[in-house]
Amino acid sequence: MWPPVPPCGTIRVMPRRPPSPLGHPLRHPVAHPPAATAATAVATRPFRTHAEPVTGVVLAGGRSRRMGMDKAFIELAGRPLIAWVLDALATVTAHRIIVTHDDDPRYDRFGVPVIVDRLPARCPLSGLHAGISAAPTDLVLAVACDLPLVQPPLLALLADAIGDALAALPDAGPTPLPARHPAPDVGAGGLQPLLAAYRRSCVPAIERLLADGPAPATMVASTVPTVIVRPDRWHAADPDGRSFHNVNTLTDLAAAAQLLNRMAP
């Protein structure tokens, strides 16, 4: 039974959707359990370095439409964006893997396993599915490759905050918990599913979400027991919120360079 939720949490009971075949075998086949009751709570435990083994998953399968080129290999201060993310994860994880949409040999240079997302849906949520399924540990820290300024203390906080839940998502702004069918782009602020902690047990729920095609990654927070880490909680780990600076355009890249050269308050 799911443990009691603090008074500040909200409980959402989601209707069960019947699973349907996705057309490709999983790296770790999992039987579909009964649909979970989604419990959302605010992280309140003190920050500490997490002791449970964690796998860092870098999501590099995006289409980079706004950038016009593969964002993973765009350089910030002379290093590819993905290298910044890998280095941040190396400080708090025992294993690291890259999830991408094809067998691009350029990823070999980073010396970590590369997993190709082969599900038909081909969206950020399917990338999460591929990474969590392939991880050698139960606990996963997933980070998009276009978040080069992600801070290790924030990653460690998310790994600790998840507790016995199946997901821990930081809230970077005032956007509320998503409805059953939210807008496809979370935009700036709000829940950050591509900078979050997950457990392997959320894989069946992700499969159900993907059964009818691409689905927003924020839907995970409405489907499995999820801890929401509010700004007043993560501020100590990342005072100026640079972890959430997403590089989608050359203007964003220039702004990231400025943040990199500026001391955090």
Express each pLDDT in 241-255 by its tens digit: 999 999 988 999 999
pLDDT value of residue 31:
33
Please tell me the distance from the alpha carbon of residue 28 to that of residue 188, in angstroms, as a whole number.
33
pLDDT value of residue 261:
87
Phi and psi dihedrals of 11, rounded to 5? -110, 130
pLDDT value of residue 23:
33
Percentage of the chain modeled with pLDDT above 90 = 62
pLDDT value of residue 3:
40
Convert the pLDDT of each residue in 227-245 to its tens digit: 999 999 999 999 989 999 9
Percentage of the chain modeled with pLDDT above 70 = 71
CA-based nearest residue to 127, from 38, 136, 135:
135
Structure-model confidence comparison of residues 62 and 164, the more confident one: 164
Answer whether residue 137 shows pLDDT above 50.
Answer: yes
Domain ranges for the chain: 35-42+49-260
pLDDT value of residue 204:
96
Q: Which residues of 65-97 are buried (b: 16+ CB within 10 A; e: fewer)?
A: eebeebbbbbebeeebbbbbbbebbeebbebbb
Beta strands in the chain (DSSP E): 10-12, 38-42, 54-59, 75-76, 79-80, 95-100, 114-116, 139-144, 167-170, 195-199, 226-229
pTM: 0.77
3-state class of 17 per DSSP? coil
In the chain, how long is the greatest CA-to-CA distance?
Answer: 50
Please tell me the distance from the alpha carbon of residue 96 to that of residue 241, in angstroms, as a whole number.
23
pLDDT value of residue 94:
95
pLDDT-derived band at 66 (thresholds 50, 70, 90) equals low
pLDDT value of residue 25:
33
CA-based nearest residue to 256, from 166, 165, 141, 150:
150
Give the helix, strand, coil percentages of the chain, each rounded to 5: 30, 20, 55
pLDDT value of residue 62:
62
pLDDT value of residue 119:
87
pLDDT value of residue 16:
33
3-state class of 13 per DSSP? coil
pLDDT value of residue 196:
98
Overall fold of domain 35-42+49-260: Spore Coat Polysaccharide Biosynthesis Protein SpsA; Chain A (3.90.550)
Convert the pLDDT of each residue in 160-213 to its tens digit: 999 999 999 999 975 444 444 333 333 346 899 999 999 999 999 999 999 989
Q: What is the mean pLDDT of the chain?
A: 79
Q: What would the two tokens of residue 154 be?
A: 């924030």
Task: Please name the residue that has the structure tokens 């201060």.
Answer: 77
Please tell me the distance from the alpha carbon of residue 126 to that of residue 143, in angstroms, as a whole number.
14
pLDDT value of residue 64:
58
